[in-house]
Amino acid sequence: MMSVRYLPLWITAALLCLLFGIGGWQFDGFASLAVVSNLFSDNAFLLIVALGMTLVIISGGIDLSVGAVIALSGVAVSLLISQYQWHPLLAFALILPVAALFGALMGVLIHVYKLQPFIVTLAGMFLARGLATTLSEESVAIDHSFYDAIAEFGFVLPGGGWVGASTMIFIVLLLLVIVLMHYSRFGTYVYALGGNSQSAELMGVPVARTTIAIYVLSSVLAALAGIVFTFYTFSGYALAGVGMELDAIAAVVIGGTLLTGGSGFVIGTVLGVLLMGVIQTYIIFDGSLSSWWTKIVIGLLLFGFIVLQKVLSRRTALTTAAGGTAHG
C-alpha cells in the first residue's frame, strides 16, 4: 500500500532525472549548477504559490484566485512604493494581512454556507483581478534602493550558479510548510479533511478553523508570490499571473497529490514545478521547437497522472474491499 501511494512521486522524480540527464547528454551546459539554480530562481514565485495550492488540494478543495491575488498584490505594492512613497517592507506588511482576510472570507463562504470551492474561488479570482485593474490598467514601475539591494543579494555557486533572495525565501517557506504539514496537528487535520470531511468532524477535527486557515495560507502565499514576482519585473501589472493557478494545479497533480484530496506530498509539488521548468529549459536549449510545446508536454503529463491516479484509486478501493470481505 505504501509503495502504491508513493508511486506517482517516484515517477515524477524519475521523469525529472531522466529529462535532465537527456538534456545534459544532448546540450553542453545543460547539466550544470547554473541551470539548476536558474530553475529555482526563475520559478520561485510559482513554487511559492504551488505550496499553498498543495494544502488546498490535499484538503479536497481548489483555489482559482491565486493568479489574480498575485496580480493584485503586485499592483498594490507597486503603487504604494512608487506613488505614495512607502518603504517596501511597510507595503508588504499591509498587503499580507489583507491577503489573509481575503482568504479567510473565501474559507468562511466555503464552510459556513457550504458553497463549492470552485465557485467561491472563481468569484475571488474575478474580484481580485478586477480590483487590480481598477487600481491601475498600466504597468507600475518600482524604483527603490531596497529592490536594488534585493536584486544583488545572494551568493555564487561553482559553475556560475546563483542563489538569490527569491530562492532563499522559497526554501524558508518550503521548510515551514513541510513542518506544518508533516510534523504538526494542523497537517493531520488537513489530510483528514481531504479524506472525508464528515468523518473528520466526527473525530474531533476543527473543520471550520482548518478550512479557513487553509484558504488564508493559500492567499498569503499567493500574495508573497506576487511580491517575489515584483523582484523579477521591478513592476506590478494587473494582467500578471494569468493562468498561473492552472500551472500551480498542474504542478501539484504531477507531484503526486490526489485531486480528490486526502493524499499528497509537499516535496512532490516542488518536483512537479521543477519538471515543468526542465521541459521549458530543454525547449529553450533546443531552439528549434515552439515554446507552445511546453504546454503540450505538460498537458500530456497531466493527463497521464490523472489516469494514473484513477487507476491507483480503483486498485486501492478493490484491495480495501477484498480485505474487508476476507475479514468478514
Radius of gyration, CA atoms only, the chain: 20
Distance between CA atoms of residues 201 and 64, nearest Å: 26
Full DSSP string of 286-320: H-SS-THHHHHHHHHHHHHHHHHHHHHHHHHHHHH
User: What are φ and ψ of residue 264, in 5° steps?
Assistant: 175, 175
Low-confidence spans in the chain with pLDDT less than 50: 1-2, 326
CATH of domain 2-142+150-313: 1.10.3470
Element (H, E) at 210: helix 207-233
Residue 244: HSE in the Cβ half-sphere, 13 Å Cα cutoff: 28
Q: What is the pLDDT of residues 158-188, one digit of tens each?
A: 877 899 999 999 999 999 999 999 999 999 9
Contacts of 81 (CB under 8 A, 6+ apart): 87, 88, 91, 142, 144
pLDDT of residue 1: 42
Work out the angle at residue 249's Cα, subtended by the Cα atoms of residues 202 and 236, and round it to the nearest 5 degrees: 120
Other residues' Cβ atoms within 10 Å of the Cβ of residue 218: 32
Other residues' Cβ atoms within 10 Å of the Cβ of residue 127: 17
Judge residue 6's burial from the number of C-beta atoms within 10 Å of its C-beta, 0-12 exposed, 13-18 middle, 19 or more buried: middle
Cell of 32: 550544470
Distance between CA atoms of residues 215 and 184, nearest Å: 18
Which of 223, 232, 235 minimizes the C-alpha distance to 78? Answer: 235
